[in-house]
Amino acid sequence: MQNVRNHKAMIFAAGTGTRLKPLTDSMPKALVPVAGKPMLEHVINKLKHSGFTQIIVNVHHFADMIIDFLNRNNNFGTDICISDERDCLLDTGGGIKHAAEFLQGSEPFLVHNVDIISNADLNDIYEKHCIENSFATLLAGTRQTSRCLLFNTDNKLCGWQNKLTNELKWSNPQFAYSECTAYAFGGIHVISPEIFNCFDGYPETFSIIDFYLSNAQKKDIRAYIPSQLRLIDTGKHKSILKAEKEYSDLL
């Protein structure tokens, strides 16, 4: 498959990195090294090698350090813009809404969490999204997590579940719980620009997952579930060590 060319991507890099303290007391999570390179560099390289060369990075915690890092490295040969959230951390939905000027257009865009390392084929996710003409396509897998998204047999989003507390958010009542499978969200999604027509009435700060759950009954929000997904969230100390040992071929 040929690489996607010149499509847009957003990297969520504004988080405070609470789980990585005390490292994040003096640097942003995005610059915490994994196998000698900052998380942000790993994600930029993956996007670049997949042909996503128009990238926007949101910043909040130690924002100047991220901007300086990108400048020193000439944006790694890509076209990078900054979405400034220094005044207020806007959460994932608010972050996308705040970056609308960059992301709006006629084509879908990809969103990638800065702390996700995976073997996911970004081109294949993007192509599948376009073929199915979905509203949003979410990378999902079977990794262990207490909080899962629920999808029906057609991989359409139906709800959310916290397995520890048994809390359930059911967003699509036309499907029965018994018809659904729980998957972990992989922190990568492709989104139709139509989403910017749906943000009216939403506050400045909100979760994109809550937005998906609220709109799943009327919008086509689907899972992309690779057969052999390898993915790790490096937002915790032990996960960084595991990534360096078990995912070194992806770094």
Within-domain flag for 2: no
Number of domains in the chain: 1
Within-domain flag for 224: yes
Within-domain flag for 146: yes
Within-domain flag for 24: yes
Flag whether pLDDT at 218 surpasses 60: yes
176 pLDDT tier (thresholds 50, 70, 90): confident
Collapsing DSSP to helix, strand or coil, 214 comes out as: helix
Measured between alpha carbons, how far is 24 from 231 in angstroms, rounded to an integer? 23
pLDDT in tens, 224-235: 999 999 999 999
pLDDT in tens, 14-47: 999 999 999 999 999 999 999 999 999 999 999 9
Q: Kindly tell me the burial class for residue 145, based on how many C-beta atoms sit within 10 Å of its own C-beta (0-12, 13-18, 19 or more).
A: middle
CB 39 within 8 A of CB 114: yes
pLDDT in tens, 123-151: 999 999 999 999 999 999 998 888 999 99
Within-domain flag for 3: no
Torsion of the alpha carbons at 37, 110, 136 and 114, rounded to the nearest 10: 20
Computed from CA positions of residues 118, 123, 127, 130, in that sequence, does the dihedral angle turn out positive or negative?
A: positive
When pLDDT is averaged across residues 50-61 and rounded to a whole number, the result is: 96
Within-domain flag for 239: yes
- Specify the amino acid at residue 212: Y
Tell me the HSE value of 224 on the side-chain side, using a 13 A CA sphere: 26
Query: Hey, what are 70's tokens?
Result: 């990108």
Flag whether pLDDT at 2 surpasses 60: no
Within-domain flag for 21: yes
pLDDT of res. 5: 65
Measured between alpha carbons, how far is 7 from 52 in angstroms, rounded to an integer? 5
The residue segments making up the domain with residue 171 are 8-250
Alpha helix locations (H) across 104-229?
122-132, 208-215
CATH classification at residue 204: 3.90.550.10
Within-domain flag for 157: yes
CB 4 within 8 A of CB 52: yes
203 pLDDT tier (thresholds 50, 70, 90): very high
Q: Kindly tell me the burial class for residue 210, based on how many C-beta atoms sit within 10 Å of its own C-beta (0-12, 13-18, 19 or more).
A: middle
When pLDDT is averaged across residues 103-126 and rounded to a whole number, the result is: 97
Length of the chain: 251
